[in-house]
Amino acid sequence: METAWTPWVVVLSIAVASLGVLGVNALVSLFDAHLAARERMHAASLAQADRELLHQATHDTLTGLPNRTHFLDCLREAMQRVERGEQATLAVMLLDLDRFQYINDTQGHGAGDALLRQIAERLTASVRAQDLRDTGLPGSVISRFGGDEFLVLLNNLRHAREAEAVAVRLQADMEPACLIQGKDVHCSASIGIVADLRGMTSVDDVIRNAEVAMYEAKRAGRARAVQFSPAMQDRVSRHVSIETDLRRAIGTSEMQVHYQPIVSLDTGLMVSVEALIRWQHPTLGEISPAEFIPIAEDSGLVVPLDRWTREQACRAMKLWHVTEPKLAPATVSVNVSRVELAQASEFHRQIAQLLDAAQLPPSRLQIEVTESNVMRDPEATLLVMRHLKALGVRLAMDDFGTGASSLSLLRSYPFDVVKIDRSFVDGLVESVDVRAVIHATIGLVERLGMLSLVEGIEQSSQLPLLCSMGCGLGQGWLFSPPVPAGQVLNVARRLRSAADLFIDETRRSPKLMLG
């Protein structure tokens, strides 16, 4: 059997036979040179392989940036230089992309990956400007820390205040749209800054406090930079705790769906209910939806949370109609998140499956879409609505009057109900201007063939005014607070027994001064 050595054995055999000792020595030298060259090539290959393995171990494969491990090593070394007096100060910034979960869910993971690569390039170009000043110190380090989070270590600082200027520049550089799969995608970042290391003895302390500051930036409205202060700890700890516990609580007995009646202002009878999620935390007590819903939206938990709420609402609706069909509400109203709106075909399929599983006619279900979500992507929202209307589901615009839509825009959307936000009702009795706005809004809604519903009715003095304006439906604590499913029929029975009194109250002549 031949091996790699066979040709050399043949050559040497011929040399011994024909060239003598001198010729053999020359060939041996040639052979040694060949072996040395092979060893150098092998060593170079091993060195290259080691460099590639080291790079893979210390860098993110998607963006090419240093990874978490490499960043923490660099931060540890920088903190040691500061402690030894070799470096005046340092700053760490944690950037979390706003609405990345929404982009990932609606446009796919390929689009999300492409966005992360472009953001990495922008961050690198922006931070590199900080390193143009020669201080003799290592330059800045930009790392993809995981998911949609990036970390920046600034070494070349004269003083800590410079970190805020870098953060401003980073946000400005992120403002232009990224071209992703032929579409313009806008993405901002919430930035947490640690520039004062007092009280921080480890890299874990620094990263944790940068995360605390980042959550504070999120809470303050996103797309901003916040510098860490110890006072933030309690607020952010609660935020993180709520997000962690929410993942566990969805679908458990901690979560309940309550239902607030919607009443006909012509008859005083309950005609519908709105499903509202409630959370009774085992240690924190009742947590307001105003607190945990934004956290659910940021974390992506709003999708399973809304899906579970709709399932409970449809089951309750079926049970009410089996128990007392004459008292049961005609529809149950549920909310939809902006993520689900962007997944038109998937959302349509889920609603169809939900109705089929609950054996509920589509007309019994009403989907509420907030005005702000309509305006976020009007064309995509319109497509979803047309699919749902074709299925037979009813549609309501929620919180009308809080966004930037115009009344004329309502003509383009197939809403059945328009819910006028409670903020208008507060000054209904006292303000002529408020009455004029509500009166005009109700009139246009009704002329477009939709039902007007005013939210937040809490005073009996508001009823005659709203009825005189032609408002069709009302919702608020004046009629009933949100109640568990088991109490809905009792509320309907109470409203029916008080219907005559309600009609007398609403027919009182109001002093409707529209100015």
Q: What is the enclosing helix (H) or strand (E) of 478? A: none
Asked if residue 114 belongs to a domain, the reply is yes
271 or 185: whose pLDDT is higher?
271
Same domain, 278 and 377: yes
Asked whether residue 36 is domain-assigned, the answer is no
The alpha carbon of residue 254 and the mean position of all alpha carbons in its chain are separated, in whole angstroms, by: 23
Is the pLDDT at 515 greater than 50, yes or no?
no
- Same structural domain, 360 and 452: yes
pLDDT band with cut points at 50, 70 and 90 for residue 135 = low
**Is residue 9 one of the residues assigned to a domain?**
no
Domains held by the chain: number: 2
405 and 502 housed in the same domain: yes
**pLDDT score for 15:** 52
Is 13 inside any structural domain?
A: no
Residues 75, 125 within the same domain: yes
Q: Is the pLDDT of residue 370 over 80?
A: yes
What local confidence, expressed as pLDDT, does residue 507 receive? 66
Looking at the structure, do residues 271 and 413 belong to the same domain, yes or no? yes
Q: Is residue 454 part of a domain?
A: yes
Type and span of the H or E element at 270: strand 270-281
Burial annotation 329-363 (CB, 10 A radius, 16+ → b, else e): bbbbbbbbbbbbbbbbeebbeebbebbeebebebe
The SS3 assignment for 443 reads helix
Q: In this structure, are 181 and 289 located in the same domain?
A: no
| Each residue's pLDDT tens digit, 229-242 | 888 887 778 888 89
Q: What is the total residue count of the chain?
A: 515
Residues 216 and 316 in one domain: no
Q: Residue 210 belongs to a domain with what CATH number? A: 3.30.70.270
- pLDDT surpasses 90 at 343: no
Within a domain: 304? yes
The predicted-structure confidence for 203-261, as pLDDT tens digits, reads as follows: 999 999 999 999 889 888 889 999 998 888 877 788 888 999 999 999 999 999 999 99
Give the span between the Cα atoms of 261 and 249, in whole angstroms. 26
Confidence band, pLDDT 50/70/90 cuts, at residue 39: confident
* Residues 269 and 134 reside in one and the same domain: no
pLDDT 10s digits, 375-410: 777 777 888 899 999 999 999 999 887 665 556 667
Last residue of a domain, one of 195, 228, 261: 228
> Are both 408 and 456 inside the same structural domain?
yes
* Cα–Cα distance for residue pair 374/266, rounded to 1 Å: 29
Last residue of a domain, one of 213, 228, 243: 228
Q: What is the CATH number of the domain that holds 384?
A: 3.20.20.450
Residue 403 and residue 442 in one domain: yes
Task: Count CA atoms closer than 13 A to 371's CA, side-chain side.
Answer: 17
Q: Are 362 and 416 in contact (CB under 8 A)?
A: no
Which range of residues forms the domain containing residue 174? 68-228
Same domain, 279 and 403: yes
Domain for residue 427, yes or no? yes
Q: Are 200 and 274 found together in one domain?
A: no
Model pTM above 0.85: no
Domain assignment present for residue 141? The answer is yes
